[in-house]
Structure 1
């Protein structure tokens, strides 16, 4: 598969992750994308014996896990179309989250409706199309550090390593850009901070559908190659005739 579509898709996933988590954190002190932050906050609330808040963070993590597991199940039953089938569920979850936000004037529990979307997104991004996490930067910083060490020790890196470095750079830059845009958008709307997640719905749906299209193309390519080899063998056998 060409590297450019993978990079563009990874950039989109990473941007949405940074944008959404920026708004969730500043408004609700929680994250819909990076579960490590929720574990940290849950631990702090345990230390302070705030059990309702502990439940809040645990529920976000569980909802994230439900999203990740759902994609595995749907993709296993419908290969190459799992993300597309869940795209419409993602749109519905954003709609429910925004309705809850508007009706309650900023209920923090809406994050529980967003985290399953990013459970799906994270699982999708680590599949065969992108083959890299797009929701956190730690692994990419480690990857770039390792590649820099390899370049120093060996005097250069392979084309495959160069592609890995590009992917890591794109993901890191896109997460940062998403955070910046999220902060600017939140500052620009003032006190009426509703409907900030609305752009996430069509963007996620479009990326999921595009992902599955590329996944199906990648599945068809090996099949076409095998069919061509079989046809060549059959033609050669016919030309040689019976022995």
Structure 2
């Protein structure tokens, strides 16, 4: 059936996996560029605490840098919520659009400068602060949207898998929603690892200047698809309604044709009777 839950879950799972690939890839590249994470808020908070206590532990960034990263991530999540309240089911694609364009502009600047030392410049190190809000939008959209899962972290998914596997130890049969959670968490973890591996390989083989160029474009497309996950049910209902109406029309037409044929038979039988009487 077109509107089956299995088909809807497959779409959610694959889009969540693609988000995880993008997040893992961008984190590896941003770590190579800036010694900071673009989408992992926990890692930046740990760096913030460390450089606050021991400033000499990081000769490139101060505590203000990591505080700004955390704030920019929160800003992206905040703007997503505002857009989602004002434009329901379109908040992700609308909130991420200015950040995606800003990231494209920065990547263009890096491409023009064309120097590996550009990331060591103090004023350009802070450019990652302008990248982090995009991942705040992704995290908010995925965790509060129809998918209801995080795609920028692994810890929660490891806990989910561990808990469900613990149920199997006592031979407790998993229900369908639990099986779907197990599959979703496994795919997100695999996507994160795959994206990180891809990022590590690209860092070794390609210039850092072009590595993040496709990220904002792919992110916008994925968020547009994510927002449209809320709509297929209504579209399917319209299609099904039209199919039911067509079925009713066909049924009424068949009934009318049957009634007409019966009337014709009755008329012919009456005529035959009258001829016999004559």
Q: TM-score, normalised by structure 2?
A: 0.74
Aligned counterpart, 2:213? 198
Determine the structure 2 residue equivalent to 1:125. 142
Q: Distance in 2 between matches of 1:30 and 1:180?
A: 17
Asked whether 1:215 is paired with 2:221, we answer no
Distance 2:52 2:96 in 1: 35
User: Is 1:152 the counterpart of 2:161 in the alignment?
Assistant: no
Matched, 1:73 2:82: yes
**What is the SS of the residue equivalent to 1:134?**
coil
Query: What do you get for the CA RMSD once the two structures are aligned?
Result: 2.2
Question: Pick from 119, 126, 135: which aligns with 2:152?
Answer: 135
Unaligned runs of at least 5 residues, structure 1: 228-243
Paired with 1:222 and 1:154, the residues of 2 have a C-alpha distance of: 38
Instruction: Find the partner of 1:28 among 34, 48, 51.
Output: 34
Question: Whole-Å Cα distance in 2 between the matches of residues 108 and 200 of structure 1?
Answer: 18
2:33 counterpart of 1:16: no
Contact 2:32 2:203 in 1 (8 A): no
Instruction: Report if the CA contact (8 A) 1:90-1:204 is conserved.
Output: no
Larger Rg: 2
Distance 2:220 2:81 in 1: 17
Displaced runs of 4 or more, over 4 A: 221-224
State how far apart, in whole Å, the 2-side matches of 1:169 and 1:141 are. 8
Structure 1 position 64, deviation (Å): 0.4
1:143 and 1:168 in contact (8 A); partners too: yes
- 2:150 and 2:128 map into 1 onto residues whose CA distance is 21
1:126 aligned counterpart, secondary structure: helix
1:235 maps to which residue? none
Aligned to 1:54: 63
Across the two proteins, how many residue pairs are aligned to each other? Answer: 222
